[in-house]
Each structure stands twice: as structure tokens, then as C-alpha cells.
Structure 1
Amino acid sequence: MAKERSIPAPLTNPETEPFWAAAREGRFLLRACTACGKAHWYPRAVCPFCMSEKTEWREASGRGTIYSVSVMKRAPEVYAVAYVTLEEGPTMMTNIVDCDFDALAIGQAVALTWRPTQGDGPPYPQFRPA
């Protein structure tokens, strides 16, 4: 079995700290605009669609589908980098884990899982086949 990649602890800032605090509790948050109604990824205070500052944190389902995927085979590591379109609308870059990498497919349903990061960092969102 391939060795799992070690993920560095993410850098936080005042805009993203609520996301990482929720991640420590096992909750997946998205930022959503109350002006245009669209959720967005990566979390930021200003809506990238309408530029409104009227955004809020919302709990996300943690479900999505693979939009694009590439399997990287670098001994001793094997990992999948993917774009996952979340049920709430945004598409995020992530990793697909706990799976047969050769069986991954565009359009496949996936579900959120949390992976530890180096040191005392918050867990990092990744996905596995649903």
C-alpha cells in the first residue's frame, strides 16, 4: 500500500480562521453571499461573483462529484488531485483518498473526510468515494 502524503498545517488569517476552527470540530463551512445567493470556495469575505461584502458562513453537506482528477504516482507516494464540485455549487481543488485510484472517474460521487496536518494544525478537507 502506498504511503499517505503528509500535509503541512494550513496558514490561517482572520478571514479563514472560522473555517479552520470549524474544521477542528469536524464541521465543513462555506462562505455564501446573501446578496446574490451563491456559495464560494476559497472562503473570503467579499463575494467573487457580485463583489458584495454581505457574506456569511454556512454549514456545507460535504457531498460532491468529481469534475476532474489526476492520479500522481511518485514512489513511495500515490495520490489523486481532483476538482470536486460541491453540492452547494462551488468547485474546489482537493485530494481523493481511501480508494482504488485506478477506479476514479469524472462524475463519481464523493464525500468529505478530514485528514490530519503536520504539527498541531487543523484537519484538512479531502474526499473519498461516496
Structure 2
Amino acid sequence: MTDDRDTGPFFAAAREGRLDYCACEPCGRGIHPPAAYCPHCGERTSWKTASGRGKVYAFGEVHHTVNAAFPAPYTVVLVELADQPDVRLVGHMAGLARIEVGEEMEVFFQDAGEGVVLPQWRPSGAKIS
């Protein structure tokens, strides 16, 4: 997963503490999931570094543990990047987060083990405990 042709650069950037996204220069769109060619105009895509800011596009609460790695309850958040509203990224927030659609978020990077680092989200200005 982390060294795949299309998503490898995303995970490599996360390991370095950057939030990179795939974009198409000719049509100006962000592409997620990443792809070598733009699905809108067919041109080759490239990688850009995001500011790490966004806003909550949607969220949901999970009350039943499906995977032991993610004990319930937790909140799944979909964040629209401030730099590129075409790109929306999913994150995991432990517990039942008190967030609202439109709330400003910032990225932080979570070591998931085995060389995998995942971008996650928290309300802007929040501290990690």
C-alpha cells in the first residue's frame, strides 16, 4: 500500500511530515485518490504540498468495534483541503469528537508502525494528548 505507484508519494511525504496531494496543472483540479493522469482532462498529474489546513466536510461516529486497531467509539472525519477543495481526506479521531461541518482542522502525523505514517486531523489549535 505505501509503496504503490500511485499512492507511494503520498505516504513518503507523510513519513517526512508533509501532506502532499496529486494535482493537475492544466485544469487546476486536485486528484484523490492519486492517479498518474487526470480523470477530467487526461493530462499528466504532479504532486504539491498542502498547507496542512482544511475544514470538516463530513463526519460520522462509530460505536461498534470492527477492527481491534480502532476501538470504538471513534469519529471518522472527511476534511476538505484549504489549498485544494477538490481533495478530501479521511481521518480517524479517537473517541466521539465534538466537531462540526465547516470547522477548521489541521493535519498531524501518526506513526502507525512498520514504517507507515498516516496524516490525521484535529481541530485547529488543538493539542495532542
The bucket for the TM-score relative to the shorter chain is: 0.7 to 0.9
TM-score (norm 1): 0.78
Give the aligned partner of residue 7 of structure 1: none
SS at match of 2:119: strand
Task: Give unmatched runs, 5+ long, in structure 2.
Answer: 66-70, 125-129
Percent of pairs with identical residues: 32
Q: Deviations over 1:20-46 (max 9, x none)?
A: 111111111111112112122212111
The answer to whether 1:47 aligns with 2:38 is yes
- Where does the alignment leave 5 or more consecutive residues of structure 1 unmatched? 1-9
SS in 1 for 2:116: coil
Mapped to 2, the partners of 1:50 and 1:99 lie a distance apart of: 41
- What TM-score, normalized by structure 2, do the two folds share? 0.79
The residue identity in structure 2 corresponding to 1:97 is M
Q: Aligned AA for 1:124?
A: L
The one-letter code matched in structure 1 to 2:22 is R
* Cα separation, partners in 2 of 1:40 and 1:49, compared to 1, 3 Å: same
Counterpart of 2:68 in structure 1 is none
Shift, 1:100, TM fit: 5.7
* Higher RCO (CA-CA < 8 Å; seq separation 6+): 1
TM-superposition CA deviations, 1:45-96 (whole Å, max 9, x none): 111222212x111111111111111111236522111221111222424124
One-letter identity of the residue aligned with 2:85? G
Opposite residue 77 of structure 1, the aligned amino acid is: A
Q: How does 1:1-130 map to 2 (within 5 A)?
A: 10-53=1-44, 55-74=45-64, 76-87=71-82, 88-97=84-93, 101=97, 103-118=98-113, 120-130=114-124
RMSD: 2.0
Return the alpha-carbon distance in structure 1 between the equivalents of residues 35 and 6 of structure 2: 6
Judge conservation of contact 2:21–2:47 (CA < 8 Å) in 1: yes
